[in-house]
Amino acid sequence: MRSTNSCLFLVLLLAFGCRQEGGKTAEKAPKTLEEYTQAIIKEVQKVILSTDQQLREYPPQKVKELPAEEGRPARTLQLWTEEGNPVKLTVSTPGDPGLTAFYFANGELFYAADGEGGYIFIGPELKYRLNENWKPVEAPEAERRKKEEELLEEARRYLGGVVD
């Protein structure tokens, strides 16, 4: 079911990324890898902006203060959910203007952002690493896998910390 949701999410992402506003005929479909990448990034960016705009009207369902630990400063976790599923989880550190944010679809992480940039997941796999301007950043495969594992573990740990 999880892989079906991921595949469905990707298909919808590409389908909506290729249509014009107002229900007019479809734009030229992406043909190159770069065009597909740009279509996916554009659609994820729209979803993130729309989600953030909608969530401004609602307080988070859960807020938890995590005390400082060895090697980690105190943090504040905020979680927004829909029908019991996480939608957005933020992690902030007092005195640090940066914010780590995790966005979920059907309970799966699909986008994360931190001080280094953004990360688009398709299923459990980190597919695109982005700079602060939403431009793809190339990274060696070993580095991509390491960041993928770190972000997935961090999201699980923080979700566990705020849900407990």
Evaluate if residue 13 carries a pLDDT over 80.
Answer: no
Residue 27: what pLDDT? 64
Please indicate whether residue 111 or residue 4 has the higher confidence score (pLDDT): 111
What type of residue is 66? L
pLDDT class of 164 with cuts at 50, 70, 90: low
Token reading at 17: 């990324």
CA dihedral 141, 146, 147, 151 (to 10 degrees): 140
pLDDT class of 31 with cuts at 50, 70, 90: confident
Q: Which three-class secondary structure state does DSSP give residue 105?
A: strand
What average pLDDT score do residues 93-109 get? 87
Q: Which three-class secondary structure state does DSSP give residue 64?
A: strand
Strand residues in 8-138 grouped as ranges (E): 62-66, 75-82, 85-92, 99-105, 108-114, 117-122, 125-130
Evaluate if residue 14 carries a pLDDT over 80.
Answer: no
Model pLDDT for residues 118-140, shown as the tens digit of each residue:
999 999 999 999 999 999 999 99
Please indicate whether residue 81 or residue 97 has the higher confidence score (pLDDT): 81
What is the residue whose two structure tokens read 């992480």?
A: 109
- Burial class (CB within 10 angstroms; exposed 0-12, middle 13-18, buried 19+) of 65: exposed
Residue 49: what pLDDT? 96
Model pLDDT for residues 57-73, shown as the tens digit of each residue:
999 999 999 888 887 78
Residue 134: what pLDDT? 94
The pTM (predicted TM-score) of the whole model is: 0.80
Angle at the Cα of 92 from the Cα atoms of 70 and 148, rounded to 5 degrees: 80
Q: Beta-carbon neighbour count of residue 122 at 10 Å?
A: 17
Asked if residues 63 and 33 have their Cβ atoms less than 8 Å apart, the reply is no
Residue 116: what pLDDT? 86
Model pLDDT for residues 134-162, shown as the tens digit of each residue:
999 999 999 999 999 999 999 999 998 77
- Among 100, 117, 151, 149, which residue's Cα sits nearest to residue 45? 117
